[in-house]
Structure 1
């Protein structure tokens, strides 16, 4: 029984869901397709010293922390951004063309903060950009290239001094934002605009306008090159992936039944 429970937990942490063009939900565990293939960049922000932020996706999108102070403000949960700190990722994690994509992060913002805040963006002084900001305490997700594909301003507050999982997703012409796995708002654009991969990625700052410094804490920032949506809140997941519990439960039962029929031991999974 213990091994089976471990099996369930491992799958629950590793699996996620993707919304396809028909707006149906399908698990990325479908045989050869795994969530790791769409994980484009993953910054845990758990470094204790130094000015480099590791990319745990394996794509080598190392970030460089820049700030006015001489000491990094790390905590056990993430990095503290004090309004003068940001992270430069360069163009290694930059997205291109009309690809579906998603951005996930954990944010903790003090309730007294009222100004615009940049969580993460791919943006510069040329077109083909996207950003996930906070405006008036709510999420703001935009994709733009000479015209807006969508410009979504949320309604669910995320600046209350507690941790929130936030996500922004482009799925074809549709853009959506989520707070703690629940859909906040969606918008349907008239067409899919191209992203420009020559634009660098920044966490915590908008250098084009020289403002929108983040105030608060960030951790587990991820970029996916697929429309990975948070459809089942799992605050215990250290992987940062939000899973669709019913899909996983059924898939777990199917695989357990298959192994039982073969009188074989359950496979080992590592997280």
Structure 2
């Protein structure tokens, strides 16, 4: 599943708490959303390949909690091949006897998401599923709607449509986390459980997000286009297609620079989407977006 950066920017603008791209070449680990700063210890910087943790002394320590209480989404990408050890990916807690979020790997080859509420053995949430320790990148998304509704907690691996695990929270999360956020090791001095592997593109939200990009319909010379499979596709204008491909806000797809160049204007609204007209000509559009196809050719 390809995660679209433009859509991520949109989600960040609406629900974002922190976005650690983990593409630094040295120094602190920086959040591009709200300016959180992680202090690095013994990391191996791999730029576009993320941050490598050595499994014995690598970690990132924050002075802030970062992950919010209540409803949340946490997305990250992970690569690891060492199986058989409990390892901490990120934590604000020290087990269910403390408050906060923890994501960790188990010695059984599973990944765990736990929300502690200060009562030993009685977490608000505990959900787990097997993870492939195959040395390849895997995309992880964990969401909680902040309620005790049935299956309000979901965990996704690679397939961002169908959760691999769900569970129901036992209570609301009302207390602040016990500790500031740590990545790559735990807070328990006696059992640090260092992580060995790579992390990148860590995104934290204060709502349940859908990481699959939604795009506008665009009108050019009485033809309509949407974005699919990394290219613009000609599509028939129907109410059903507006529901499938339309979105409410032009800001969902455009940066301020793009809006100056594209100069779209809202004309009307049908169904759950909106129709937009295009001011510049087809030649300019092709230069920006490339070859067109009809949707039945895909």
Mark yes or no: TM-score above 0.5.
yes
Q: Is the 8 A contact 1:127 1:196 kept in 2?
A: no
- Taking CA–CA contacts closer than 8 Å with sequence separation of 6 or more, which of the two structures ends up with the larger relative contact order? 1
Aligned to 2:279: 264
Deviation at 1:73, TM superposition (A): 1.2
5+ residue gaps, structure 2, are 214-228, 231-240, 251-263, 268-274, 289-298
Corresponding residue to 2:111 among 128, 139, 144: 139
Residue 130 in 1 paired to residue 101 in 2? yes
Aligned to 2:6: 14
RMSD: 3.6
Corresponding residue to 1:152 among 105, 115, 127: 127
Identify which range, 119-128 or 209-218, moves more after superposition: 119-128
Corresponding residue to 2:167 among 187, 199, 218: 187
Residue 178 in 1 paired to residue 142 in 2? no
CA distance in 1, matches of 2:249, 2:39: 44
Residue 95 in 1 paired to residue 68 in 2? yes
5+ residue gaps, structure 1, are 1-10, 17-27, 238-245
Aligned to 2:25: 48
Residue 73 in 1 paired to residue 44 in 2? yes
Deviation at 1:252, TM superposition (A): 6.0
What per-residue deviation string (whole Å, max 9, x for no partner) do you get for residues 244-268 of structure 1? Answer: xx999611699789567756349x9
Corresponding residue to 2:198 among 212, 217, 220: 217
Cα gap change, 1:140 to 1:107, in 2 (>3 Å): same
- Pairing 1:97-116 to 2, within 5 Å after superposition: 99-110=70-81, 112-116=82-86
Cα gap change, 1:118 to 1:250, in 2 (>3 Å): same
Q: Is the 8 A contact 2:53 2:196 kept in 1?
A: yes
CA distance in 2, matches of 1:104, 1:261: 31
- Counting matched residue pairs gives 223
What per-residue deviation string (whole Å, max 9, x for no partner) do you get for residues 155-209 of structure 1? Answer: 3x23111000112111122221110124110001232132414520011111225
Q: Is the 8 A contact 1:132 1:168 kept in 2?
A: no
Task: Report the 3-state secondary structure (helix = DSSP H, G, I; strand = E; otherwise coil) of the residue aligned with 1:37.
Answer: helix
Q: Is the 8 A contact 1:102 1:229 kept in 2?
A: no
Identify which range, 223-232 or 252-261, moves more after superposition: 252-261
